[in-house]
A = this chain, B = another copy of it.
């Protein structure tokens, strides 16, 4: 921030204003990530290879180690980037639909998530597919991992605050086990939203349903059933929202 002085701070980043070298470094880093992401599409996360990435960029494999200390760090960076992209897209859909009825907002957010997932199926697999054996996601990935979920839940919270939330039809209080209530508590604390247990359980159900549907579609379990049927997806998303108790325009 300051041109002169400051002898005792930030010795590690002694660059001029924003450091030409640092900028170049950041750009190559981005290029490596982009190439790695393209690799994912072809070979899957498990087969992500430092050498292949380097080859695609016309570098020598050892050069990549200037940017990522190991293959696993590269993988982590990819995961964080993907979570952030998905979170971004979801938050945007939620924000843009601010003035719409809750049910429409839910459907819009669900469609945004589906849109991103279909555009980036390999990234989706990285986030929501089977875990990569031998790789343990570090803690850095936890926070970005909740962005999309937070955004979805904020729709429910807004509806509850606005008084436009019906009682969830299928999860009546007396039907819930103590475990469900403690789950509700966990979510209230971790995601910082203040909603009833019943609504939380209904939301969790809708959430799993949404990603279950997407996994089936993207991993090919529903050959010809859901693919290229955005209208059918819309029906499903609507039903999920109704289950939570979200109201549409007509209600």
- Residues of A whose CB lies within 8 Å of any CB of B are 42-47, 125, 128-134, 145, 169-171, 175-180, 183, 186-187, 201-202, 204-205, 208-213, 215-216, 219-221, 224-226, 229-232, 234-236, 238-240, 242-243
Contact = CB atoms under 8 A, between A and B. Distances in A.
Contacts of A211: 212, 215-216, 221
Contact of A231 (B43, B178, B204, B226): B178
Contacts of A240: 205
Copies in the complex: 2
A225 B134 CA distance: 23
A204 B236 contact: yes
Contact of A213 (B187, B202, B212, B243): B212
Contacts of A215: 128, 211-212, 215
Taking chain A's interface residues, is the majority helix, strand, or loop, or is none over half, making it mixed?
Answer: helix
A-B complex: 4 closest residue pairs judged by Cβ atoms: A212-B212, A129-B130, A44-B133, A125-B130
A145 B224 CA distance: 15
A236 B131 contact: no
Contacts of A236: 201, 204-205, 208
Interface centre among A45, A202, A230, A235, by most chain B C-beta atoms within 10 angstroms, is A235
A239 B170 contact: yes
A219 B137 CA distance: 12
Nearest to A216: B208
A232 B134 contact: no
Interface centre among A134, A186, A204, A208 (most CB of B within 10 A): A208
Given A170-B243, A239-B170, A133 B231 contact: no
Contact of A212 (B45, B175, B209, B238): B209
12 contacts: A42-B133, A47-B133, A130-B130, A131-B219, A170-B242, A177-B231, A180-B235, A183-B229, A201-B235, A201-B239, A205-B240, A208-B216
